[in-house]
Amino acid sequence: MTVTTLLLPVVLAASACTGPDGPTAQDAADDLAAGLASGDLGGVVLVTDTGADPQTHLTEVTEPLRAAAERAGRAPTVAVSQVTVDEDAEPRTAEVSLAWSWPLTAQDAWEYSTTTSLEQVEPPDGSDAGPSWEVRWEPELVAPDLRAGERLDVDTVAPDRGDVLDVHDEPLVTERDVWRIGIDKTFGTADTWDAQARRLAMVVGLDLDDYAARVEAAGDKAFVEAITIRQKNPGVNFTAEDARSLDGVNVVADTLELAPTSTFAREVLGRSGPATAEIIEASDGAVATGDVVGLSGLQAAYDEALRGAPGLVVQRVPSEQDADAGEEPTELFRVEPVDGADIATSFDPELQERAEKVLADVEPASAIVAIRPSTGDVLAAASGPGSEGWSTATLGQYAPGSTFKVVDALALLRSGTTPQDTVQCPETLTVDGRTYENVPGYPSSATGKVPLATAFAHSCNTAFIGAMADVDPQDVASAAADLGLVPGPDTGVASFGGDVPTDLDGKTARAEAAIGQGTVLASPLGMATVAASVAAGERVEPRLVREVVGGAPDAAAAPSASPSGSPSASAEAEAEDTTPQGTPAGLTAKEAATLLDLMSGVVSEGSASALADVPGVVGAKTGTAQYGDGSRQHVWMLAVADDLAVAVFVEDGEYGSTTAGPLMGRFLAGS
CATH code, domain with 170: 3.90.1310
Question: Is 433 part of any domain?
Answer: yes
Question: Is 425 part of any domain?
Answer: yes
Give residue 113's pLDDT: 97
Q: In a 10 Å sphere around its CB, with 0-12 CB exposed, 13-18 middle and 19+ buried, how is residue 207 labelled?
A: exposed
Residues 218 and 278 in one domain: yes
Question: Is 560 part of any domain?
Answer: no
Give residue 13's pLDDT: 31
- pLDDT tens digits along 159-203: 999 999 999 999 999 999 999 999 999 999 999 999 999 999 999
Residues 99 and 197 in one domain: no
Question: Is 558 part of any domain?
Answer: no
- pLDDT, averaged across the chain: 91
What is the distance, to the nearest Å, from the Cα of residue 376 to the centroid of all Cα atoms in its chain?
21
Last residue of a domain, one of 341, 360, 381: 341
CATH code, domain with 539: 3.40.710.10
Residues 318 and 369 in one domain: no
Residues 74 and 52 in one domain: yes
Last residue of a domain, one of 341, 364, 386: 341
CA distance 333 to 315: 7
Residues 44 and 95 in one domain: yes
- pLDDT tens digits along 513-564: 999 999 999 999 999 999 999 999 999 999 999 999 988 776 656 665 444 4
| The pairing of beta strand 171-184 with beta strand 223-230 | antiparallel
Residues 282 and 353 in one domain: no
Q: Which domain holds residue 509?
A: 349-550+565-669
- pLDDT tens digits along 371-385: 999 999 999 999 999
Max CA distance (Å), the chain: 127
Give residue 555's pLDDT: 62
Give residue 208's pLDDT: 97
Residues 530 and 546 in one domain: yes
Give residue 558's pLDDT: 61
Give residue 556's pLDDT: 59
CA separation (Å) from 613 to 370, 604, 636, 641, 656?
20, 10, 19, 12, 18
Number of domains into which the chain is organized: 3
Percent of the chain residues topping a pLDDT of 90: 83
Question: Is 159 part of any domain?
Answer: no
Last residue of a domain, one of 148, 177, 211: 148
Residues 336 and 399 in one domain: no
Residues 371 and 332 in one domain: no
Question: Is 662 part of any domain?
Answer: yes
Residues 408 and 461 in one domain: yes
Nearest partner of 650 among 642, 666, 639, 661, judged by Cα: 661
- pLDDT tens digits along 14-57: 333 444 567 899 999 999 999 999 999 998 989 988 777 999 99
Give residue 159's pLDDT: 93
637-658 burial: b if 16+ Cβ within 10 Å, else e: bbbbbebbbbbbbbbbbebbbe
Going by pLDDT thresholds of 50, 70 and 90, the confidence category of residue 125 is confident
Residues 178 and 128 in one domain: no
Question: Is 413 part of any domain?
Answer: yes
Question: Is 559 part of any domain?
Answer: no
Residues 179 and 205 in one domain: yes
CATH code, domain with 114: 3.10.450
